[in-house]
Amino acid sequence: MRRWLGGMRELRRYPSAILGMVVIALLVGLSLYTVISIPYPQALELWRGGDQWRMTPANAEPVWLDRLTGGREPTTITVSSDDADIEEQPFEGGRRLRIPLTFEYDYEGFPSEINLFLRAEGHEQRPFARLLWETPDGREISLGGYRIGREDRVSISQDRTLERRLGGMVPHVGLLAEPETQQAPQVQPGRYTLMLDAVVFDEQADIEANLVLYGRVHGIAGTDHQRRDLSVALMWGTPVALAFGLLAAVGTTVTTLIVAAVGVWYRGWIDAAIQRLTEVNMILPLLPVLVMVGTLYSTSIWLMLGVVVLLGIFSAGIKMYRAMLLPIREAPYIEAAQAYGAGNLRIVMRYLIPRILPVLIPTFVTLIPTFVFLEASLALLGLGDPVLPTWGKVLNDAQAQSALYNGYYYWVLEPAALLMLTGLGFATLGFALDRVFNPRLRSL
């Protein structure tokens, strides 16, 4: 125990160790915060994607990235009919509603998409609405008429005829552009209104309208091609990566150590069998076996963890531990323990293993990032866990959508930066620990 405390005190002399520990503490803090703020089932639900992300833009970069580079790209603007002054004119058998959806537009860039979400519940006959776009300089552009179902989405950006009428500009550009410019379209800043002129064939039932101008920037992490906020995956990737790395490292080192100690203590055929198994295991290539398990059985992260630990038991480390344990086996204190009647198991667990634990710690710490990257590697090959959000899966999505080719650098760089941070944190600490605990390096 005193040796450990001494080691820890010595560790404080290494700035790299302090740095590593700070990074690890930050990562642990982030994981704790994530697990508490976004509970596990909610994270899975969010990452499954779908309709809950319909209000966020696709492939939007983080806000801070744009603002730091001096850009003024739009964030998402949502205008709801709940805040609008609705004009109501009753007539025989129905009402006429005029719903102005008004917003101020004051950004440099154009939105990435415009959608109008309409809800009309409890109507016997479907209401009819005409859409009129009013620009700050008083132009009026008709967006056509629609029969509104119970829940409808009017994709204004996808309207090809409107695009033709706007002179070949995509609607989300053309509707907000300065008229009659020959050069690249410029935003006309000011107050825009989408007038919803609806005829309702009902006395009470209402219409709910939501106009969404999707931005080009979103949140602190941006979004992916499925409109999912990347911060969910980046945050949840942290506890997953740490847990995977830690469990795999503990699983492999501890089992390897116990197996090596058992072999050294019992000798004979047990030792021989362990040695042969290690050699067989050296022939089995780890990554291809994992890929096979992933493609043929299941890509669940816990199955992968199990296979990693299983293949890691008889790893090459056994040879190293064996070499360290062999001289300890002959030490007088073991003989003394035998003399007072300690059992075999007790000697292995209480006398043999604790002696080489300090040497093991650096190896253990440096192993963690290896497994974190292993998980990312598998995910990059498309063998990530099917439901869990991880850093590797974000990278895989980015790779599959040619993020670099399309210029979505943030999509690759964010998970990569977190991976790098984890790797460097554990590695710097591990190297410093190695210098403290490894007796061969001490004198240097």
Partner 1 sequence: MNPESPVQPPARHGLMRDLRRLLVYSGKRLLALFLTVLVGVYLTIVVANMGGEVDELRMVQIRSEAAEMVRANPDFQDMPSEERNRLIQRQVELEVERLRLDEPFMLRSIDYLRQAISLDLGRAEQMHSDRGSREVYDIIVERLPATLLLFGTANLLVFFVSVFMALSLSRHYGSLLDRCVIALAPSSAAPGWFYGIFLILLFAFVFPLLPASGMVAAPPPEGTWAYTLSVLRHMLLPLAAMFVSQLFVSIYSWRTFFLIHSSEDYVEMARAKGLPVGLIERRYILRPTLAPIITSFLLMLVGLWSGAIILEQVFNWPGLGSLLFQAIGHRDTPVIIGSVVIFAYLLALTVFLLDILYALLDPRIRIEGGER
CB of 285 to partner 1, least distance (A): 6
Exposed, middle or buried: residue 75 (CB in 10 Å: 0-12, 13-18, 19+)? Answer: middle
Rg (CA), the chain: 32
> How far, rounded to the nearest angstrom, does the alpha carbon of residue 434 sit from its chain's CA centroid?
32
CB of 231 to partner 1, least distance (A): 21
Contact residue for partner 1 among 1, 5, 68, 283 (CB under 8 A): 283
Contact residue for partner 1 among 58, 250, 289, 328 (CB under 8 A): 289
Output 23 or 84, the one with its CB closest to partner 1: 23
Look at the block and give the residue holding tokens 């699983």.
251
Q: Phi-psi region for residue 338, left (φ > 0), alpha (ψ -120 to 50) or beta?
A: alpha
Contact residue for partner 1 among 168, 268, 288, 327 (CB under 8 A): 288
Contact residue for partner 1 among 30, 86, 310, 424 (CB under 8 A): 424
Exposed, middle or buried: residue 435 (CB in 10 Å: 0-12, 13-18, 19+)? Answer: middle
- Could you tell me which of 48, 36, 39, 196 has the C-alpha nearest to residue 119? 196
Listing DSSP states for 248-289 in one string gives HHHHHHHHHHHHHHHHHHH-HHHHHHHHHHHHHHHHS-HHHH
The site map against partner 1 for 212-251 (x = CB under 8 A) is: ----------------------------------------
CA distance 348 to 353: 6
Task: Answer yes or no whether residue 430 interacts with partner 1 by CB under 8 A.
Answer: yes
Written as six digits, the tokens of 67 are 């603002």
Contact residue for partner 1 among 72, 276, 319, 346 (CB under 8 A): 276
CA distance 189 to 403: 31
Cβ within 8 Å of residue 413, ≥6 positions away: none
Output 161 or 402, the one with its CB closest to partner 1: 402
According to CB under 8 A, which residues from 360 to 419 bind partner 1? 366, 369-370, 373, 376-377, 380-381, 395, 399, 404-405, 407, 409, 412-413, 416, 419
Output 191 or 276, the one with its CB closest to partner 1: 276
The site map against partner 1 for 315-354 (x = CB under 8 A) is: ----------------------------------------
Output 328 or 349, the one with its CB closest to partner 1: 328
Q: How many residues bind partner 1 (CB under 8 A)?
A: 48
- State the chain's maximal CA–CA distance in angstroms: 106
The site map against partner 1 for 290-319 (x = CB under 8 A) is: -xxx-xxx----------------------
Backbone φ, ψ for residue 139 (5° rounding): -70, 150
Triad 282, 288, 294: Cα angle to 5°:
130
Output 188 or 370, the one with its CB closest to partner 1: 370
CA distance 168 to 191: 24
- In the complex, which residues of this chain contact partner 1 (CB under 8 A)? 16, 276, 279-285, 287-289, 291-293, 295-297, 366, 369-370, 373, 376-377, 380-381, 395, 399, 404-405, 407, 409, 412-413, 416, 419-420, 423-424, 426-428, 430-431, 440-441, 443-444
